[in-house]
Amino acid sequence: MTSDPARPFGRVLTAMVTPLAEDGSIDLSGAQELAAHLVDRQSHDGLVVFGTTGESPTISDGEQHAVLEAVMDAVGDRATVVAGVGTNDTAHSIEKAQSAARLGVHGLLVVTPYYNRPPQAGLLRHFTAVADATDLPVMLYDIPPRSSIPIEVETLVRAAEHPRIVAVKDAKADLGAVAWTLARTDLAYYSGEDMLNLPLLSLGAVGVVSVVGHVVGPRLAQLIAAVESGDLVTARAVNESLLPVYTGIFRTQGVIMAKAALKELGLPAGPVRPPLVDATPEQVAQLREDLVAGGVLR
């Protein structure tokens, strides 16, 4: 677990999938096995459990509680476990945050409320209300492709005044906004869009919350170390080696292909829950080609 205030959740985190049994029920032992694999063999110093890639919209609060408890039992003594608790209902998000805190998780991920399109004042009130609900550090999740509402720079500046809002997972694809927020706050930035890992790190992001980290964690650690040491030649080379993996995992919805990739590697994954659909044989065949090109499979 990290003790560096500049990177409060570590360097390499993956937005972990939620392993399911073939009947669609939660696979708790699979969640523990996958969490341990990511921490012990894929160079992760943290996991985000029940971000979007964990299929949080279709997994009940009770199921999420059980998975968080299982992951904490598996790796909570040696990795930072961040619980995704954001919803588009502030009261519900507070309940989820307090439930996760009682399990002993190390931090909270709070996504921009989606669908109901609150104004920036509503975003600020939502984020600070969730941050007030526990003593845990909070990472905001800025992802307008899903929420439709970006967190504006001025809102991030205001949010950063809260002592427990310490980080942002950025999937906004607005490098100018990131640069301004880093210039005006001490928020720790984490790349939440794998294809933009290198440019975000070069701007000053301290780590990644990745989907491809399920299969290339050590290379993400290498990428971060190269940027921090000023070795951009190595950083670019590592980034280029990862391009086929970035592309392959995101040819369709990330969790679909991440689970397909894990199955190819013999790791716990299982199906996705509706309305998502599992990868087709044709998609899996293309994914294998991408993973071979990216050095994951032979």
Give catalytic residues, as residue numbers.
141, 169
For residue 164, the 8-state DSSP code is: T
Closest CA to 250 of 214, 276, 220, 211: 211
Residue 285 CB coordination number (10 Å): 11
The pair of structure tokens assigned to 115 is 């669908």
Residue 7 contacts residue 205 (beta carbons within 8 Å): no
Distance from the Cα of residue 107 to its chain's centroid? 12
Q: Is the peptide bond before 275 cis (omega within 30 degrees of 0)?
A: yes
Residue 294 contacts residue 251 (beta carbons within 8 Å): no
**CA neighbours closer than 13 Å in the CB half-sphere of residue 152:** 10
CA distance 63 to 39: 22
**8-45 CB burial, b ≥16 within 10 A, e <16:** bbbbbbbbbbbbbeeeeebbbebbbebbebbbeebbbb
**Annotated binding-site positions for pyruvate:** 53, 209
Residue 107 contacts residue 70 (beta carbons within 8 Å): no
CA distance 293 to 253: 20
**CA neighbours closer than 13 Å in the CB half-sphere of residue 81:** 24
CA distance 70 to 95: 19
Distance from the Cα of residue 140 to its chain's centroid? 11
